[in-house]
Amino acid sequence: MMTTLRRSLAWLSAALTLAIAASALAAAPDEAAKLAAARKEGKVVWYVSMFDIGTAEQVGKAFEARYPGISVEVVRATAGVIYQRVLQESQAGVSADDVFSSTEEGHYLRFKDLKLIRPYVPGEADKVVARFQHIDPDDNYQVASVGLILLMRNTQQVSAAAEPKKWNDLLDPKWKDKIAFGHPAFSGYIATWVLSLTRLYGWDYFEQLAKQSPLIGRSGNDAITELASGERLVAAGPDATTLKSKNKGNPIDIIYPEDGSVFMTAPSAILTKAPHPHAAELFMDFFMTKEYSQVLVSNGFSPLRPEVTPPDGLRPLSDVKLIRPPAQELKDEIPKVIEKFRATFGV
């Protein structure tokens, strides 16, 4: 009886082993076929706004090292610019972009409506931080980076004791002619910031802020340059690129506002008519890897993988008061606040 039971268990174990092995062998040819097809395509074209050009090119080089024979063509511009570019190309019947990475989540909801992006669940998608998984219930887009919009200061001219502690502090007359930030029509980060503070304080906040004569660039990163040069002393801008600039020796630092830092999820998606679809899938897979998270950290960004240590100088997101409108509100309201912003600031 015992011998029979042992034989049955041994047979079951062997059957399970064979089944697992068969499953692995079945999956391997699919991955190998995708890689072979991607190498035949030769490249992936990446429209990206969530990184500065240096970080984007580092991501591209890391991908190329992982997948020799597939190059990354980086097209870096602000969120509004790459969004309009995809729309214009689509209307002209042109399919140039493979992977779209914007800082404005509302772009993806509009693209879903227009069927310009398609569902794809990357390999290892279940290994990133749980709150970043399946941010779109239909998996038409996936998180590719996260960050914050917060306050910044020039450390040579503004002490920690004198720095603004809340967004409302920017309305103090002492900051007149000393503030910098980007434009919501170009920057997804800034568009989300404008909508978030409108929800918090109403449009009256921006009407008062306009009286402070701020210097308005396009990207949120433009304010970093103004701070580093001393042309402006305080600003609203992104945490990662500010930290990256600080680590290069520039006299700037980040401030976590007491009334909330604006939480940004910057997704990525594959275009429905991507000219290099297999390479695009590999590129989306790459966003979920430890290797990619390590590139993020080396450039001041929070990692997507929980086992990768965040960069020095950033607080864990769990320790930060976060504010952010829902994705549908981003889609519906950002076009309205862009027009109000232009009318209020005259730019």
CA distance 324 to 261: 9
Amino acid (one-letter) located at 41: E
Which single residue is written with the structure tokens 């502090």? 169
Nearest to 216, CA basis, from 205, 230, 232? 232
Residue 47 main-chain phi, psi, to 5 deg: -90, 120
The pair of structure tokens assigned to 278 is: 């297999």
CA distance 225 to 232: 9
Amino acid (one-letter) located at 71: S
Q: Residue 318 has what pLDDT?
A: 81
Q: Residue 72 has what pLDDT?
A: 98
Query: What's the chain's Rg over C-alpha atoms?
Result: 23
The pair of structure tokens assigned to 311 is: 């960069």
- For the chain, the straight-line distance linking the first and the last C-alpha, in angstroms and rounded, comes to 87
Q: H helices within 114-248, ranges in order?
A: 188-201, 204-210, 222-229, 239-247
pLDDT one digit per residue (tens) for the chain, 347 residues: 434 434 443 444 444 343 433 333 344 558 889 999 999 999 999 999 999 999 999 999 999 999 999 999 999 999 999 999 999 999 999 999 999 999 989 999 999 999 999 999 998 999 999 989 999 999 999 999 999 999 999 999 999 999 999 999 999 999 999 999 999 999 989 999 999 999 999 999 999 999 999 999 998 889 999 999 999 999 999 999 899 899 999 999 999 999 999 999 899 999 999 999 999 999 999 999 999 999 999 998 999 999 999 899 898 888 899 999 998 999 999 999 999 999 999 99
pTM as predicted? 0.80
Asked if 216 and 345 count as a contact pair (C-beta separation under 8 A), the reply is yes
Q: Residue 140 has what pLDDT?
A: 97
Tell me the C-alpha to C-alpha distance, in Å, between residue 94 and each of 37, 209, 275. Answer: 22, 41, 10
H or E segment at 26?
Answer: helix 2-41
Nearest to 314, CA basis, from 299, 327, 302, 298? 302
CA distance 220 to 210: 17
Asked if 159 and 233 count as a contact pair (C-beta separation under 8 A), the reply is no
The pair of structure tokens assigned to 186 is: 């170009």
Sequence-ordered list of residues with C-beta below 8 angstroms from that of 95, at least 6 positions apart, any chain:
89, 271, 273, 274, 275
SS3 content of the chain, % helix, strand, coil (to 5): 50, 15, 35
CA distance 146 to 171: 28
Q: Residue 21 has what pLDDT?
A: 38
Which single residue is written with the structure tokens 């998270």? 293
Nearest to 80, CA basis, from 216, 188, 202? 188
Q: Residue 18 has what pLDDT?
A: 38
